């Protein structure tokens, strides 16, 4: 299992690399200034981090209250994922529309672009990270 220092390195390198990639790609794809996409990316990343914490805490508390446990079946995990993404979209789409001076439909397209980017990026980044920094064998930590 990975240790705390490794997890911190992973989180920081994940976010910085994503911002370095998505900012120019988003600017090029949508024709917005790099600074605007960069600001939106940083703010979106911060909001997503806070939303992740708050949503997961609330979801687990609700499960504990209603079911008496927090074990997630496949169906509950699917619902968790969909509700998380819908909630984040409800937060980020109006923000993107306001900040970029565009309509909600265009902002939704920008949001979909970010979601698809992060799904592909997370898969590739995590795979590469595991190759460069293999998970230590046994109970030891790095």
String of DSSP letters for the chain: ---HHHHHHHHHHHHHHHHHHHHHHHHHHHT--HHHHHHHHHHHHHHHHHHHHHHHHHHHHHHHHHHSS----HHHHHHHHHHHHHHHHHHHHHHHHHHHT--HHHHHHHHHHHHHHHHHHHHHHHHHHHHHSPPPSTT---
Q: What does pTM read for this prediction?
A: 0.80
pLDDT in tens, 96-111: 999 999 999 999 999 9
pLDDT tens per residue, range 34-59: 999 999 999 999 999 899 889 989 99
pLDDT tens digits, residue range 111-121? 999 999 999 99
């Amino acid at each position: 299992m990975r240790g705390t220092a490794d997890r911190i390195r992973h989180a920081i390198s994940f976010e910085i690399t994503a911002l370095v990639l998505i900012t120019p790609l988003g600017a090029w794809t949508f024709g917005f200034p790099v600074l605007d996409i960069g600001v939106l990316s940083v703010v979106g990343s911060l909001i997503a981090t806070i939303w992740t914490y708050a949503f997961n805490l609330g979801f687990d508390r609700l499960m504990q209250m209603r079911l008496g446990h927090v074990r997630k079946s496949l169906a509950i995990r699917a619902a968790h994922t969909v509700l998380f993404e819908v909630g984040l979209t409800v937060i980020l789409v109006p923000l993107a529309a306001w900040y970029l001076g565009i309509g909600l439909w265009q902002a939704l397209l920008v949001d979909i672009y970010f979601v698809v980017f992060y799904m592909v990026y997370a898969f590739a980044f995590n795979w590469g990270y595991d190759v460069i920094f293999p998970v230590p064998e046994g109970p030891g930590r790095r």
